[in-house]
Amino acid sequence: MRHPVASRHAIAFAAELAPGIDSLMQQLQGPGAIVYVDVPGQGTWLTARGSATIDGAPPMSTDDHMRIGSVTNSFTAEVVLQLVDQGAIGLDDPVTKYLPGVPNGDAITIRQLLGMTATNLPVYDDVAMPDPHPQGYMYGTNVQGNAAYGAAVAGDRAAAQITIAPGTRPTDVTDLPTNGVASGGMISTVGDLAIWAKALGTGALLTPATQAARTTFDPRGNYGLGLEKALGGSSGTTALCRASRASSGTSPRRVRRSSC
């Protein structure tokens, strides 16, 4: 396992990034964060901020292992795409070819699963879906969340909001099992995610043709095959986990970044 090391001369905008990170942590009520930024030709910056629990201790460390939530998707997709490169499976094969009994599985392809376009939810551009509240689905119980989603589908904007009382703290679910397994069960470090971000963005582990398919982003959701186009044009994955956010991404043009 390798851990990134901050350059002796921190990148020039590190001082500007720090207050923004602290502000975002406060906005999201996240107790801590580990951030690593690598700008080729300008330097790197590695920092651990806040605490590892909602109780204020112990402090975060840059060597901490953390759940990476849906960033796990990108690893799972990578293995599937390597099987495609080996000729073991096909992107346009129906899922029932490998897993019989999946409802409507004859009409769902491996490509659709990786691209998250096989769904029973309303289509992306359905005008009946109201704009979500900026933080409406980040807190609350499953019952509240399901009720809010149902109201959103029905077009009831007011009922789709989840009101959070001032001072509400996020629920500490650190010790609960991680849902998803292949879609959300991984634990990693910022160092390993930095390595992964570069391999993910450059396609180092795939053939050029398969990487090209992976980075063909659906304009309705900016999602490729287990890969999201975000972070100002960079490619990576993002997930909410515990009370904070995990993400790993890279820009082929100038910036490589990984944060957890």
Digit-coded pLDDT (tens) for 160-194: 766 666 666 666 656 655 556 777 788 899 999 98
pLDDT, position 174: 60
Cβ atoms of 52 and 32 closer than 8 Å: yes
- Cα separations in angstroms, 167 against 25, 35, 160: 14, 26, 21
pLDDT, position 39: 79
pLDDT, position 2: 54
Digit-coded pLDDT (tens) for 47-81: 999 998 888 889 999 999 988 888 888 999 999 99
Cβ atoms of 245 and 28 closer than 8 Å: yes
pTM over 0.75: no
Partners of 256 in the β-ladder = 38, 250
Q: Which domains does the chain have, with CATH numbers?
A: 14-120+171-259 (3.40.710.10)
Rounded distance between C-alpha atoms, residue 246 and residue 101, angstroms: 34
pLDDT, position 246: 56
- Cα separations in angstroms, 197 against 83, 205, 258: 20, 12, 7
Digit-coded pLDDT (tens) for 109-160: 999 999 887 655 555 455 554 555 444 434 445 556 667 667 766 777 777 7
Indicate if the pLDDT at residue 40 is higher than 80: no
Residue 8 backbone dihedrals phi, psi, to 5 degrees:
-60, -35
Which class for 113: exposed (0-12), middle (13-18), buried (19 or more C-beta within 10 A)?
middle
Cis previous bond, 58, omega within 30: yes
Indicate if the pLDDT at residue 219 is higher than 60: yes
Rounded distance between C-alpha atoms, residue 85 and residue 81, angstroms: 6
